[in-house]
Amino acid sequence: MSELSLHHVTRPSILKENAPVLIMLHGYGSDENDLFGFSSEMPEELFIISARAPYPIQPYGNAWYAINFDAEMNKWNDNEQALKSRDLIAKFIDEVVATYPINKNTISLLGFSQGTILSYAVALTYPEKVKNVIALSGYISPEMLPDDVETKDFSGLAFYCSHGSQDQVIPVEWARKVPQFLNSLGIKHTYNEFPTGHGVAPQNFYELRSWLNQRLEK
């Protein structure tokens, strides 16, 4: 058994082998228990893993990378930490495949906010490791992508992307740039907005679950 690089919780599949896997990546200031609340409503054949980000923050919670503020309250990302987390998640995927009775060809990522930003970065950097991405309330950060992103094979990859039209944490305008970017790379995707803030509305959850069910059947 390998040394797993991220602390995580799991919900086993009803399948004893070759189970499709869903890896959950939480948002800034949260932990592995946050998105794991979705597990009971997800398909039983999924092997679900919810991972904790590697950087503890004060007063509580964890982050995939630091967000820094200057005196004028402008903020910027610690891209060095972000790239380390991107590659750590890719390593974690390999460890998960080596450790659990899952199918390496049916790996899905589900991210929220900062976890979505990392999900985009992982899938667009290592498309051979990921089949599906559910990207909730996030955006694509070009600084976290490789220089050769335009030459990679994304033919097996698909995204479900959603955002709240009233989001005051990550502007919806940032998310609206995603479809054009994915189109430029020829990547299959769905993009929808919901009349909510920085969160996941029930209708949003039912839609992403339906999308994932359809993808699991392919």
Mean pLDDT of 102-126: 97
* Tokens (6 digits) for 138: 């996030």
pLDDT of residue 1: 43
In a domain, 76, yes or no: yes
Q: Which segment of 46-60, 70-84, 132-146, 181-195 scores lowest on mean pLDDT?
A: 70-84
Q: Which residue has the tokens 């589900």?
A: 110
Identify the domain containing residue 166 by its residue range.
8-216
CB-based contact 63:71 (threshold 8 Å): no
pLDDT of residue 70: 57
Which amino acid would we find at residue 187? I
Domain total of the chain: 1
pLDDT of residue 77: 83
Whether the bond between 59 and the residue before it is cis, its omega within 30 degrees of 0, is yes
- Which residues neighbour 75 within 8 Å (Cβ) at sequence distance 6 or greater? 67, 68, 69
Q: pLDDT (tens digit, 9 = 90+) per residue, 127-180?
A: 999 999 999 999 999 999 999 999 999 999 999 999 999 999 999 999 999 999
Q: pLDDT (tens digit, 9 = 90+) per residue, 25-34?
A: 999 999 999 9
Percent of the chain with pLDDT over 70: 95
CATH number of 162's domain:
3.40.50.1820
88 pLDDT above the threshold of 50: yes
In a domain, 204, yes or no: yes
The mean pLDDT value of the chain amounts to: 94
120 pLDDT above the threshold of 70: yes
* Tokens (6 digits) for 31: 């932990």
pLDDT of residue 75: 65
Cα-to-chain-centroid distance, residue 73: 27
Q: pLDDT (tens digit, 9 = 90+) per residue, 176-197?
A: 999 999 999 999 999 999 999 9
- Which residues neighbour 150 within 8 Å (Cβ) at sequence distance 6 or greater? 184, 185
In a domain, 2, yes or no: no
pTM: 0.95
Radius of gyration for the alpha carbons in the chain, expressed in angstroms and rounded = 16
In a domain, 186, yes or no: yes
d(CA 115, CA 47): 19
